[in-house]
Structure 1
Amino acid sequence: MPDQDTATPDRPARPAGPPTKHQLALMIWLCVFPTLTLINLTLADWLRPMSPVLRTFVLATIAVPIVVYGLMPQLHRIRSRILARSPRPNHAR
């Protein structure tokens, strides 16, 4: 009997479900850390005289839309492709 999760030409692979909390935490970290680092390095001279609270506000205002609308959808697509290619373990039926 063929594996239920194996894709065939007449039966595409089952779509990946939502990420686990741990996967989502890793995905967010992979987006947020480089984005904040890049913004900090790019705007360092302009951010330096600001108070820490104002600097954090500016960074968050720039970084959140980049992460939410630009990077996270890409990571979700990449995750789905990876999971669609990798065989899923057989569960007792």
Structure 2
Amino acid sequence: MTTDTVTAAAPAGAPAAPSVHRRALLTWLAVYPTITTAFLLLGPYLGNVPLALRTLVMTALVVPVVVYALMPLLLKAETRLARRHGRRR
């Protein structure tokens, strides 16, 4: 058995995960405004910092915000919206 074929089964009664296309859209909806905001707030302070270090700082701030705060909120909202409209994922 390869790791490519292993999938985690959802608990009985749990909603299905969004399709890969919806997850991509939700991820973009979280990442784009977060990166834009980070650049607006920190850009003036990081302007003279080398690109690799600037990228390190930005990703160190943006990734946790997206993963731990925004994605759970967007996934909950997407689940509620899908249920309200009777859509399947």
Structure 1 residue runs without a partner (length 5+):
1-13
Counterpart residue number, 2:85: 86
Q: Figure out how many residues of one structure are paired with residues of the other and give that number.
A: 76
How far the C-alpha of 1:52 sits from its partner, in A, is 1.1
For residue 51 of structure 2, what is the amino acid of its counterpart?
P
Counterpart residue number, 2:26: 27
Superposition TM-score, scaled by structure 1 size: 0.76
Superposition TM-score, scaled by structure 2 size: 0.79
Q: String of CA shifts for 1:23-64, please: whole Å, max 9, x gaps.
A: 111111000010000010001111101111111110000000
How far the C-alpha of 1:79 sits from its partner, in A, is 0.5
Q: Hey, what's the Cα distance between the residues in 2 that align with 1:21 and 1:55?
A: 30
Structure 2 residue runs without a partner (length 5+):
1-12
Runs of 4+ in 1 over 2 A off after TM superposition: none
1:31–1:72: 8 Å Cα contact kept in structure 2?
Answer: yes
Identity percentage of aligned residues: 38
1:52 aligns with 2:63: no
RMSD over aligned Cα, in angstroms?
1.5
Pick closer, same or farther for the CA change 1:23–1:88 going to 2, 3 Å. Answer: closer
